A = this chain, B = another copy of it.
């Protein structure tokens, strides 16, 4: 018997991808997707009758966003969660303003206070972003260094072994 009708289905009219497809498309593992869900970074997707998860296009985009923030910018999942939540709040308010631009002064004030709140809670995150700018220069320097090293390696490799194979990685 059918078990669950999600109490609030944001939009699962579009939920058509099984976990394996999402994993493949986003380049993360199924474990990771379940883990993100467990930690609240992804909202629980809808399910098929048998319990299989069904993801939407939006979910896919969200995963990609998480991955970018994590891998390229080095944020922790906790930070990412905060950022995404804050971003959602801002979007909500933006929507609200669009739909009710002439709300009462108190409502407007409340919206504003909310914005200030999420903004302040992102303070450390902002610092991290600034630090990244500094890091970028260093990164480029490093890359140049390794580029030179690679050239050295290439020269050695070229002169030497015609048959270079067979080494399995790792200890």
Interface residues of A (CB under 8 A from B): 1, 68, 71-74, 112, 115-116, 119-124, 126, 129-130, 132-133, 135-136, 138-140, 142-143, 146-147, 150, 153, 156-157, 160-161, 164-165, 167-171
Contact = CB atoms under 8 A, between A and B. Distances in A.
Given A136-B140, A136-B143, A153-B126, A161 B116 contact: yes
Contact of A129 (B115, B126, B136, B146): B146
Number of copies: 2
Contacts of A150: 126, 129-130
A121 to B, nearest CB: 7
Nearest to A128: B146
Q: Lowest 10 CB-CB distances: which A-B pairs, in order?
A: A116-B160, A129-B146, A119-B153, A115-B156, A72-B139, A119-B156, A130-B168, A116-B161, A119-B157, A72-B142
